[in-house]
Structure 1
Amino acid sequence: MVVMNKTNLLLLILSLFLAINLSSAQLRGDFYAGTCPNVEQIVRNAVQKKIQQTFTTIPATLRLYFHDCFVNGCDASVMIASTNTNKAEKDHEDNLSLAGDGFDTVIKAKEAVDAVPNCRNKVSCADILTMATRDVVNLAGGPQYAVELGRRDGLSSSASSVTGKLPKPTFDLNQLNALFAENGLSPNDMIALSGAHTLGFAHCTKVFNRLYNFNKTNNVDPTINKDYVTELKASCPQNIDPRVAINMDPNTPRQFDNVYYKNLQQGKGLFTSDQVLFTDSRSKPTVDLWANNGQLFNQAFISSMIKLGRVGVKTGSNGNIRRDCGAFN
C-alpha cells in the first residue's frame, strides 16, 4: 500500500486542477471559423424551426444540457442510445423524464450542420447541444450570449455513472451546494442555474410528498403558499396519472425571466429544492436581489452557464466528433 503524504496529495490535486483548466482553456468562440464558419446560424435556424413545431423544445433542450454536463461533463454522453450490451445514461431512472424534443433538437441541428459540405463531421454533438441551449434561452426571451466551442464528444455513456450526480427535488441547500461544488460551481452559480426553472414542467409525482405526506407533523409542506397548495392539489390529485405534468413557474411558464425568484418570495417554488433558496437565510438575499432586478439575474445566469459549459469537457484526442449523436462511431 502506498501512503501519500500531504505534499504528494497537494501535487495530485494541483495536477487534476490544471488538467481540468487546460481542457476548458482550449475552448474558444471562433473554434469553427476555419472549418464551419456559419455553424452558429445553422444551429439557430434548426432550433427556431423546431420551436415552431413545439414549445417543449425550449425547456427540454435546456434541461438536457444540465443533465449532460452534470454527468461526466458536457460531452453529449446523455445522447447515446442503449444497446444490448450497454445501458446508457439516458435510460437511468433520473433521465427517463427528459423530453424527447430535447434530443430531437440536437439531432435535427446536427443534420442541418452536416448537410453543409464543408461542415460535415466537423462539429461535435456536445457543441451543438451547447449552442442549441443558448438559443432556446434567447428565443424564450432570455439573454443572448457568446458560447465557447471546441468540445469533443465523450467515448462512454453508462446508466451507472448517473447515480448521485443530479440534484433531487427534495434537496436542501447544503446538498445543492455540495453537488454543484463537485462540478466547480459556486453557491451563486447554483442559485442562478436554478433560475432555469422559470421554464418547463415537472411531473406531479415529484411534488406529492409536499402536498400529501410531508412529515409526521404536517401533511402539507408549510412553506408552500396556501393558494398555491389549492392550485397544485387541483392539478395533481392523489389518484392522478403520474405522467401528468405541471408548470415549474405558475405565472410565466413560457418566458425566460426572473419571475421564478418572485415566486419563491411568495412561497410558490414547486420543489423543496426551489423553495429552500428563499427559506434558507444564506441564499435568501440573492433570491431577493434577482427578484428585484432581472438584468442582474441575466448577467449572473450567463456567467454561470459559461462556467457550466466548461465542466468536464473533452478536447483534442480525449474525445471525437460523432457521426450520429445517438451512437458511438
Structure 2
Amino acid sequence: MASTVASYRINYTSLVNLLLFLSSLLTASSDLSFNFYAGSCPVAEFLVRNTVRSASSSDPTIPGKLLRLLFHDCFVQGCDASVLIQGNGTERSDPGNASLGGFSVIERAKNAIEVFCPATVSCADIVALAARDAVEAAGGPVVEIPTGRRDGKVSVAADVRPNIIDTDFSLDKMIDAFSSKGLSIQDLVVLSGAHTIGASHCNAFDGRFKRDSKGNLQLIDASLDNSYAETLMNQCSSSSSLTVSNDPETSSRFDNQYYRNLEAHKGLFQTDSALMEDDRTRKMVEDLASDEESFFERWRESFVKLSMVGVKFGEDGEVRRSCSSVN
C-alpha cells in the first residue's frame, strides 16, 4: 500500500508540474487554448485521431512519417502547415523535403473535418494533432496540446536548407538550430527520441561508410557498433535509396529503446551518436535510457514546445480550404 501511495504522489506531482508548465506556455501564446474548437468544431480532434489510427493500422510507417512532418513544418516558418503547400518553389518541392510522407493522412483528416465544420480548423492544427496522435498510436504517451494555430500564406523552398537539421550535424550545430527555435538542449535530447519510430533512406547516413574499389561498403565511423554497422552495410549495399528502420530493436513502437540503442553505439545517424559522445548530453541519454516514464513525461513537455514554435495568429495566417494550397 505504501509503495502504491508513493507512486500516486509521484504521478500527481508530475501532472501538476506539467499543468503549470503548459499554463506558462499558454500565457506566452494567449491565442492558443485547450479545446479551442469546443464550440466551433467539437469533433475536430476525434476526426484527426480516428484518421491517424486508421491509417496507422494499415501502414505501420505512418506514425513516423507524421511525426517527421511536424518537425519539418515547425523548423521552417514555424508550425503553420507551410510544408504542405504544393507548387514550384515551395518548401515541399525542396530536395530536403523529398522524403517526407504522411501528406495524404493530413488531407483525409482535413476533408473529414470540412464536412462537419467548413473553413474552421487550420491545417497547422491538424498537422500538430496528427503528430501527437501518431505517437499515441505507436504506444507512446497521451499528450494534450493547445490549438488555435493559423495556416501560413508563404512557403519558399529557399527557407528549407538553412533551417532543417542534417543528419551529420555536430552537437554544437544542433544546439544552435534548436536554440534558434526557442528549444533547449534538453528538448534536443528528448525530441531526438522521435527516432524510436520511423525509417530512413540509406543515403541519410552514408557518410558513416565509404565504398572500396569493388563497390563494397566499409565502415569509417568508429563511433558505430561494428555488428550494427555490418547489418546496415548489408541492407544498403545495393542501393542508397533503400530504407532501414531508425530503431533496429522496436521499430514500430514509441518507447525509450532509442536511448538504449545509443548506449550500445547503435544510433543510426551521426547526430544520434553525437548525443552519447558529448558530456553535455550523455547523462541525459543515460537517464532516459533507464526510465521510460521519465522519457514520456519529458516528451510531453518538449513536444508541446515544439508544436508552438513560430505559430501564427489572426491576419498573419488563415484557415485554408485545402491544405495543399493557400486560399
Is 1:176 aligned with 2:174? Answer: yes
> Secondary structure, in 3 states, of the residue corresponding to 2:200?
strand
Partner of residue 3, structure 1:
none
One-letter code aligned to 1:107: E
CA–CA separation in structure 1 for the residues paired with 2:55 and 2:204: 28
For residue 25 of structure 1, report the CA deviation from its aligned partner. 2.3
1:257 to 255, 261, 264: 255
Residues 52-95 of structure 1 show CA distances to partners (whole Å, capped at 9, x for unaligned) of: 23112111110000000000000000000014xxx100111110
SS at match of 1:282: helix
Paired amino acid for 1:47? V
In 2, the alpha carbon distance for the partners of 1:318 and 1:24 equals: 14
Note the alpha carbon deviations across 1:80-135, whole angstroms, 9 max, x for none.
Answer: 0014xxx1001111101112xx111110000111111xx11100000011111110
Of residues 76, 82, 92 in structure 1, which corresponds to 2:94? Answer: 92
Q: Which residue of 1 aligns with 2:276?
A: 278
Cα separation, 2, equivalents of 1:157 and 1:21? 26
Correspondent of 1:61 among 36, 42, 66: 66
Matched, 1:79 2:84: yes
* 8 Å contact kept, 2:121–2:319: yes
Whether contact under 8 Å (1:27, 1:151) holds in the other structure is yes
SS of the residue aligned with 2:97? coil
Aligned to 2:6: none
For 2:233, the equivalent position in structure 1 comes to 233
Which of 191, 194, 197 pairs up with 2:192?
A: 194
How many angstroms apart in 2 are the aligned matches of 1:183 and 1:22? 18
Aligned counterpart, 1:37 = 42
Q: Distance between the aligned counterparts of 2:62 and 2:269, measured in 1?
A: 22
Partner of 1:167: 165
Once the two structures are superposed, what CA deviation does each residue of 1:281-329 show, in whole Å capped at 9, x if it has no partner? 1100000000000011111111011001111100122100000000010
Which of the residues 24, 27, 34 maps onto 2:32? 27
The TM-score normalised by the length of structure 1 is 0.88
Letter in 2 for 1:267: H
Give per-residue Cα distances to partners, 1:16-67, cap 9 Å, x unaligned: xxxx988722111121111001211111111112112311211111000000
Describe the SS at the equivalent of 2:164.
coil
The reply to whether residue 302 of structure 1 matches residue 304 of structure 2 is no
- Which one of the candidate residues 142, 158, 164 is aligned to 1:144? 142
Q: Deviations over 1:119-165 (max 9, x none)?
A: 11100000011111110100100000111100000010010111210
How large is the Cα RMSD of the aligned pairs? 1.7
Q: Any idea what SS the aligned residue of 1:134 has?
A: helix
Look up the match of 1:323.
321
Q: Which 5+ residue runs of structure 2 have no aligned equivalent?
A: 1-24, 212-217
**In 2: Cα distance, 1:38 partner to 1:197 partner:** 31
Identical columns (%): 39
Of 309, 312, 317 in structure 2, the residue corresponding to residue 311 of structure 1 is 309
The 8 Å contact of residues 23 and 313 in structure 1, kept in 2 or not, is answered as: no
1:127 aligns with 2:116: no
Name the CA shift for 1:112/1:26 in 2 (closer, same or farther; >3 Å).
same
| CA shift for structure 1 position 211 | 2.1
Q: Distance in 1 between matches of 2:198 and 2:175?
A: 23
Aligned length: 298
Q: State the Cα deviation string for residues 234-266 of structure 1 (Å, max 9, x = none).
A: 1111xx222200111000000000000000000
Listed one character per residue, the Cα deviations across residues 223-242 of structure 1 (whole Å, up to 9, x for unaligned) are 101111111111111xx222
Amino acid at match of 1:165: N
Whether 1:292 aligns to 2:290 is yes
Tell me which residue corresponds to 1:266.
264
**Which amino acid is the alignment partner of residue 63 of structure 1?**
R
Whichever residue aligns with residue 100 of structure 2, its letter is: L
Q: Tell me, yes or no, if the aligned pair for 1:290 and 1:296 is still in contact at 8 Å.
A: yes
Would the aligned equivalents of 1:90 and 1:159 in 2 still touch at CA under 8 Å?
A: yes
The amino acid that maps onto 1:316 is G
1:51 aligned partner, one-letter code: S
The Cα shift of 1:219 comes to: 5.0
Shift of 1:205: 1.2
Match of 1:114 in 2: 114
